[in-house]
Amino acid sequence: MSSTQDAPEPWTAEVETWLAANWDPDITVRAWWDRLATSGWGQPTWPTTWFGRGLDIGVHASVRAAFDSAGALGPPVSIGQLLGVPTLLAHGTAAQQHLFIPRLARGEEMWCQLFSEPDSGSDLASARTRAVRDGDEWIIDGQKVWVSGARWSNRGLLLARTDADVPKHAGLTFFVIDLDQPGVEIRPLHQMNGESGFSEVFLTRARVPQDQAVGSLNGGWTVALTTLLYERSVIPWGVNPEGTDDLLDRRAGDIVLSQRIGEASDSRADPLSIVLDSFSRSDRRSDPVARQAVAQTYVHGEIARWLGGRAVGGSLRKLHRSALGALAAGTAMDLIAPEGTLTHDADHLVGRVQKLTLSVPSLSIKGGTDEIQRNIVGERVLGLPREPQIGRDLPFRELEVGIQRPAGAVSDRNQH
C-alpha cells in the first residue's frame, strides 16, 4: 500500500508544464532569469506579489527535480536572494522592496553579508563597526571578516553600531551598503584548504544613504535576527554568479553544461563519497571496525540528505552537517593514512581526503558556531534556561570586547 507521501506534490505538474513551454537553452541567462522571475518558479517561496508562488520551503525539492529533469538553468542565488529578500520583506520599506527585490529576482545583483568582525564573531551584538549620521547619509568605519562572495558582490547586508551609550543589542542599525565605492576595500583570505572564498572587508568613511537603513534606528538587532533565522533555514539551490562577470549575457544552455561539470566535481567532494571511495581502495574492507565506521558515516550521510530537503530546524541541520564532516574526514583519513596527509591533485582520492580534512574545521564556525547552534536549540526549542550574559544591560562603551580596551571604540556620539 503506497504512502500519501509518495504522491506527487500538486505543483509538480504545473512547473513541469511551464518548463516544457518556456525553457530555451539558446537565450541569454539575462532573458531566462527575467522569464523565470515573472513566472514565480525561480523563487517559489517568495510572495506572489514579489516574483514568487507563496509556497512552503518544502517545495524546493520538487521544483529542483523538475528543473533537473527538463535540463533547465536554475534561478540566481546569493546572500541577496537567500537572506536579503526575506529580510526586506519583513522589515524593509516599500521603496526598498521596489528598488532591490526586482534586481535580485532577475539575478542582476549579488549581495554578501557583512556581520562578523575580528572581535565579534559568535557574539555578533558586540560589533564595533560604527555608523555616524552625516545629513542624509551615514559614514561607516570598521572591519568585517569571513565575508563569503564579497569580491563579486554589488551590495552587502551591514550591521553597524549607531549608539555606544546603550546596551550592545540596542545600539545597532541594519543597512544595505553599496560596495562599489572608494571607502570599501576587499581583501581575499587564503585558507588552509587552498581556497579563497572568504574576504575581509575594510570600511573607511564609506557612505550609506539614509534610505538604505533597514528597520528602525538602533533596531538593527531585531532585523539581524530575521536574517540569521533564514541563514539557518534556507535550502540553497540555483546558480551563484561568483567570478562570472559576463554571466547574464552568456547562453543559458552553456551555463547548464558548466554547472553539470561543477556538480559532478562537487559530488566527488561530498564527504560520504570520499569515505566510500577510501573504503573501496583500502586493505581494511574485511575489518569489522572499519566496516562499522563506514556504515556509521553512511547513516549520517543519509540523515543529512533527508534533512537537506525538508523544512526542519536550521540549527539542527547545521549541527548535523558539521558532525558529518568531522566524522567523514576522520574515517577517510583512518582508512588511507598516512597518504591522506599528502598534497595531491584535487581529483585524486588523496587530494580529496586532504582537502576535506582541512575544510572540516570551517563547518563548525561559518554561519554560526556549533556552540551558538546548541544554545539556540536548548533555549528556543527545548526551553532550557538561558545562558548567563554578563554585561548584557551595560552601555556598550563600558564593555570589554575581544582583546581591545576600551570596547566602546565608538568615540563619537552620533547626531540623530
> Cα separations (Å) of 229 from 34, 47, 90, 226?
28, 18, 12, 5
**3-class DSSP assignment, residue 364:** coil
Q: How many helices (H) and strands (E) does the chain have?
A: 13, 8
Question: Per the residue annotation, which of 16, 109, 117, 231 is the catalytic one?
Answer: 231
Cα-to-chain-centroid distance, residue 155: 15
End-to-end CA distance of the chain: 67
- Among this protein's residues, is 231 annotated catalytic? yes
Give the H or E element holding residue 142.
strand 137-148
Q: Which residues contact 59 (CB under 8 A, 6 or more apart)?
A: 9, 11, 44, 45, 53
> What distance in Å separates the CA atoms of residue 130 and residue 132, rounded to the nearest whole number?
7
- Phi and psi at residue 383, to the nearest 5°: 75, 25
**3-class DSSP assignment, residue 11:** coil
**3-class DSSP assignment, residue 78:** coil
| DSSP secondary structure string for all residues of 218-264 | T-HHHHHHHHHHHHHH----SB--TT-TTGGGSBHHHHHHHHHHHHH
Q: What is the dihedral of CA 380, 384, 390, 392, to 10 degrees?
A: 30
Q: Please give the positions annotated as active site.
A: 231
